[in-house]
């Protein structure tokens, strides 16, 4: 069972102020000829039949932080996507989503 509600993931991913994509995730998308907009689209549709929740994993570096991992069939690729939801470090300290991995599985 996912740690994060797919509807909240979609809502946060739709807003530039609450979506953060690491360089590693962005580079992984680029290696597949995909863009950050494609990452946003995948996150907005985690209830699709082409999406399979894989697992939730605890962070090794940050106790209490969890990541959700999905396998997604998107534009001819089987993609591994990993993300977390947390609180922004600066005001207004809203919840945000951080995508740490987006690569071919």
For residue 22, what pLDDT band results from cuts at 50, 70 and 90?
Answer: very high
Supply the pTM of this predicted model: 0.92
Domains, the chain, with CATH or none: 6-104 (3.30.2310.40)
Q: What is the pLDDT of residue 6?
A: 96
Cis peptide before 92 (omega within 30 of 0): yes
Choice among 35-44, 68-77, 80-89 with the minimum mean pLDDT: 80-89
Look up residue 60 and give its DSSP letter: S
Contact 7, 14 (CB under 8 A): no
pLDDT (tens digit per residue) in 85-104: 988 766 666 889 999 999 99
Alpha helices in the chain (DSSP H): 6-13, 23-31, 36-43
């Amino acid at each position: 069972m996912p740690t994060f509600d797919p509807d909240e993931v979609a809502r946060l991913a739709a807003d530039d102020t609450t979506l953060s994509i690491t360089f590693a995730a962005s580079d992984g998308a680029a290696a597949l000829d995909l863009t950050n907009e494609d990452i946003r689209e995948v996150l907005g549709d985690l209830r699709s039949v082409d999406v399979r929740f894989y697992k939730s994993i605890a962070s090794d570096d940050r106790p209490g932080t969890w990541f959700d991992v999905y396998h997604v069939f998107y534009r001819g690729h089987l993609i591994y996507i990993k993300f977390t939801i947390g609180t922004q470090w600066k005001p207004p300290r809203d919840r945000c989503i951080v995508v740490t991995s987006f690569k071919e599985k």
